[in-house]
Structure 1
Amino acid sequence: MTDVARLAGVSHQTVSRVLNDHPNVKEQTRLRVRAAIAELGYRPNRAARALVTGRSQLIGVVARNSMLYGPASMLTEFEQAAADAGFAVSVGSVRELDRDSISAVVDRHLDQRVAGLVVIAQVASATEALAEIPADVPVVFIDGDPAAGRPLVTVDQVAGARAAVRHLLEAGHETVWHVSGPTEWFDSAGRIHGWRQTLQEAGREVPPLLSADWSAAEGYRAGQMLARMPEVTAVFAANDHLAMGVLRALHERGRRVPHDVSVIGFDDVPEAAYFIPPLTTVRQSFGDVARAALTLLLGQMKEAPVPADTVIVPAQLVVRESVAPPA
């Protein structure tokens, strides 16, 4: 700001007034300051200005418009963590995490002079758009690209999948079939990797991957195929809704769970304990993710030296009655 004031031939306070659209600035002076800003490529530190002026206790969140249990729970937990820290949350929902949609939401948040941004970015297509977030804006990604080099918080999807597959192998099953989520999702990719890696390390056959979306309907479709294959004795579903569809298909085909086929899900939705039979699943701690993301964001907002941290939150296997040794 000092360089802008020197080039424009005005005071530091005048530059501040122009940046804040103060009415008591002559138009000629305003134009001169704007020209100096453009020539120097100056970008005001929005977070620092908000903290100094006290005008923003607002955090912007960019999230996909979704009723899926994981993303919806993550958003709820972050809103609560922010409220506990004295911040309000402005949520910008997009139908798809593509460049144009994300850019529009980010610009809207910046116009609100948010103190920082949290981006819940589960898919690879968001990477290009996220790279355009200005460097002076504090930002933390949840479930984003681990290779992006920006502060990131995520659940250990690989370890969660490994725990599920290992549990089935230890029960005596020769191999485990996997009904995955969309392969472009980072969460789904991590679970696929953990499933395949565990089978390979155990020297077991890796069955063909059954790729789906996150819905019970797609789980049912995959389950209809699996139910017709007598060699299938263990299924790991990438979320509990997929597992619900698999359970329905197995039941219709007369394949008993867990006597004929064992099934494990992922997420531990509130209904999982009431499935028939109660579902063994992998629990994600969305609250821990939210609090870790807020901690990273607050560190940046205070202009503390924050490296491009990656915080990995553990996942927990919850054992219930849907797993048993093979018949």
Structure 2
Amino acid sequence: MLEAGGRVLPTNAEPRVRRAGGVSVSDAKAAENAAFPSSSRAERPATIYDVARVAGVSHQTVSRHLKGFAGIRPETRERVERALESLDYRPNMTARTLATNRSHRVGALTHEISQVGPSKIMQGASAAAREAGYLLDIVSLDVEDASAVQQALTLITQQDIAGLIAFSSTDVMTEAFVSRDFPMPTLIEVEDDDLVGGHPTSLNFRGFRAVVDHLVGLGHTRFFHIAGPPGWVSARNRELSYARALAEHGLTSLGTAHGDWSSASGFAAAEQISAALGVTAVVVSNDQMALGAMLSLKRRGIRVPDDVSVTGFDDIPEAAYFQPPLTTVRLDFDTQGRASFHRLLRLIEGPSASPPPPLTIELMVRESTSRPPT
């Protein structure tokens, strides 16, 4: 509330009530808080004034530090950081929005987060948002359902959000974003079919090159591919990356079947691998489809890896516990989510925002690959 003259008082300030002996309630509580500072902090969240007092700086300095302003001396910044940590300071998002006239919520559209990849990406993006002082409002939907995407976009853009990001690069999602004018910064994590799919710096190409190099090194020349749904740009890019990786060795695929990323679809896709083809290596576009494919092969009496080697892509936590453990490409989903949020943050706050972290891949060689049968 405001005192005469405009000085801001804490809204939870207690009235000074005098007791017999001339000691006020607030005086008594001050003595108690001095003796037990931790219990005092438990009664109300720390403010920037508390942080300033502990750090020995002005509250304006604390505010500038929280907003990422340059020009604060390193020793001062360190004192403020120590004070923030010791007081377990949490910014008041409502007050911050009112003070800056800008929302600190970001909308996020994603594919069903029951799947490992989207779930891990969301965790990374949410963590990056919190670290930057934002909250991520997540909407999970069928990203190949045009009406569901349009409805979600209509609802979320009616909210007070600072930006919007879509994590699933389907044709439906891309078309929905292109066809709308948005009142806030937006980012869709979409890949370009022609430039990214087989580009030597893309994660997809680097991953499939590592897989194919590994299999060719074992002696394989007869490959089959289980790809993701054609309506996903990422699935098309993985399929193209696989073909280009084979081409580097002068090889072509003996066939391709498509799934929908699920284990059941991988099982069905593997049923299309004819014994007459003489396939010795099945390269699958994600781990869950690889799981289904291995079960399908097993039920047909085809041994993995003795008869056919199988690889995945993503390295979900369960991949190391498949039977046999799956050779796959490890993607850092957490970093992907963080990188996506930082790209959006630079659209919201400008180039001063932190740059996105670099993305990496790693081939995890396990027991589902070996030399082809002789």
Fold equivalence (TM over 0.5): yes
Show the counterpart of 1:95.
142
Show the counterpart of 2:365.
319
Show the counterpart of 1:210.
257
Match of 1:173 among 220, 225, 230: 220
- 1:47-86 aligned at under 5 Å gives the runs 53-54=100-101, 56-86=103-133
Distance between the aligned counterparts of 1:87 and 1:223, measured in 2?
A: 44
Whichever residue aligns with residue 326 of structure 1, its letter is P
Unaligned runs of 5+ in 1: 1-48
Whichever residue aligns with residue 369 of structure 2, its letter is V
Show the counterpart of 1:43.
none
Runs of 4+ in 1 over 6 A off after TM superposition: 309-312
* Equivalences, count: 272
Distance between the aligned counterparts of 2:270 and 2:150, measured in 1?
A: 39
Match of 1:270 among 307, 317, 324: 317
Superposed displacement of residue 95, structure 1: 2.6
Distance between the aligned counterparts of 1:71 and 1:303, measured in 2?
A: 27
Return the TM-score normalized by structure 2: 0.65
- 1:110/1:135 CA distance change after superposition, 3 Å: closer
Contact 2:304 2:369 in 1 (8 A): yes
Distance between the aligned counterparts of 2:188 and 2:337, measured in 1?
A: 11
Superposed displacement of residue 201, structure 1: 2.4
CA RMSD of aligned residues (A): 3.0
Distance between the aligned counterparts of 1:76 and 1:67, measured in 2?
A: 12
Distance between the aligned counterparts of 1:133 and 1:118, measured in 2?
A: 14
Superposed displacement of residue 268, structure 1: 0.6
Contact 1:146 1:310 in 2 (8 A): no
Superposed displacement of residue 303, structure 1: 3.8
Superposed displacement of residue 165, structure 1: 1.7
Contact 1:179 1:236 in 2 (8 A): yes
For the residue of structure 2 that corresponds to 1:146, the secondary structure is: coil
Show the counterpart of 1:299.
346
Contact 1:178 1:210 in 2 (8 A): yes
Distance between the aligned counterparts of 1:148 and 1:312, measured in 2?
A: 22
Contact 1:175 1:199 in 2 (8 A): no
- 1:146/1:225 CA distance change after superposition, 3 Å: closer
Whichever residue aligns with residue 318 of structure 2, its letter is E
1:182 aligns with 2:229: yes
Whichever residue aligns with residue 247 of structure 1, its letter is M
1:105 aligns with 2:152: yes
Distance between the aligned counterparts of 2:275 and 2:135, measured in 1?
A: 52
Whichever residue aligns with residue 255 of structure 2, its letter is P
Return the TM-score normalized by structure 1: 0.74
Q: Which moved more, 1:316-325 or 1:66-75?
A: 66-75
Superposed displacement of residue 279, structure 1: 0.4
Superposed displacement of residue 55, structure 1: 5.2
Superposed displacement of residue 173, structure 1: 0.5
For the residue of structure 1 that corresponds to 2:271, the secondary structure is: helix
Superposed displacement of residue 73, structure 1: 2.0
For the residue of structure 1 that corresponds to 2:317, the secondary structure is: coil
For the residue of structure 1 that corresponds to 2:273, the secondary structure is: helix
Show the counterpart of 1:199.
246
Contact 1:161 1:194 in 2 (8 A): yes
Question: Identity, % of aligned pairs?
Answer: 33
Match of 1:146 among 189, 192, 199: 192
- 1:262/1:51 CA distance change after superposition, 3 Å: farther
Contact 1:182 1:212 in 2 (8 A): yes
Whichever residue aligns with residue 364 of structure 2, its letter is V
Contact 1:127 1:148 in 2 (8 A): no
Contact 2:127 2:338 in 1 (8 A): no
Contact 2:121 2:335 in 1 (8 A): no
Q: For each residue in 1:175-208, what CA deviation from the matched residue of structure 2 results, as whole angstroms up to 9, or x when unmatched?
A: 3210111112122111111111122221123212
For the residue of structure 2 that corresponds to 1:72, the secondary structure is: helix
For the residue of structure 2 that corresponds to 1:313, the secondary structure is: coil
Distance between the aligned counterparts of 1:94 and 1:122, measured in 2?
A: 13
Contact 2:174 2:188 in 1 (8 A): no
Unaligned runs of 5+ in 2: 1-95, 196-200
Distance between the aligned counterparts of 1:73 and 1:155, measured in 2?
A: 20
Contact 2:191 2:234 in 1 (8 A): no
Distance between the aligned counterparts of 2:166 and 2:202, measured in 1?
A: 15
Q: Comparing both structures, which one devotes a greater share of its residues to strand? A: 1
Which structure has the larger Rg over C-alpha atoms? Answer: 2
Contact 2:110 2:139 in 1 (8 A): yes
Superposed displacement of residue 97, structure 1: 4.3
Whichever residue aligns with residue 208 of structure 1, its letter is G
